[in-house]
Amino acid sequence: MLDFAQYYGAGAATLAALIVSLDLGRKITGWAFVLFVSSSIALILWGFYQPDSEGIGWQNVALLGINCTGVYRYLIRRPSPGDGSASAPVPASSSASG
């Protein structure tokens, strides 16, 4: 069971990072954070039950808080109009052509 937790945690975190990096939209990014949460839980369990791996456990306690913030931000909280979403127009360059 510890081996499963270790490899699930590593694989889920890798897949979630890929999804976030692809910037596929607010909802998909939110579900990637859910995957990050499950990864953190698996690695907390693995870290504290595996001898000499408490560092990974504590790191994932911190990451669990960060990942829960991501779930809240992308899946629970409604975006405000000035949130700076990906669909916002990009400002024109300030350099003058001469």
- Tell me, yes or no, whether 81 lies in a domain: no
Please list the helix, strand and coil fractions of the chain in percent, rounded to the nearest 5, in that order: 70, 0, 30
> How large a percentage of the chain has pLDDT more than 70?
84
- Best CA proximity match to 15, nearest among 32, 27, 38: 32
For residue 19, what are the domain limits?
2-76
- Tell me, yes or no, whether 8 lies in a domain: yes
- Tell me, yes or no, whether 12 lies in a domain: yes
- Phi and psi of 82, rounded to 5°? -100, 30
- Tell me, yes or no, whether 86 lies in a domain: no
- Determine contact, residues 73/50, Cβ cutoff 8 Å: no
Q: Model confidence at 89, in pLDDT bands (50, 70, 90)?
A: very low
Q: How many domains does the chain have?
A: 1
pTM over 0.75: yes
- Rounded Cα distance between 86 and 32, Å, is 17
- pLDDT exceeds cutoff 50 at 79: yes
- Rounded Cα distance between 19 and 60, Å, is 19
- Tell me, yes or no, whether 89 lies in a domain: no
Element (H, E) at 55: helix 54-71
- Tell me, yes or no, whether 21 lies in a domain: yes
pLDDT tens digit string along 41-65? 999 999 999 999 999 999 999 999 9
- Tell me, yes or no, whether 36 lies in a domain: yes
- Tell me, yes or no, whether 55 lies in a domain: yes
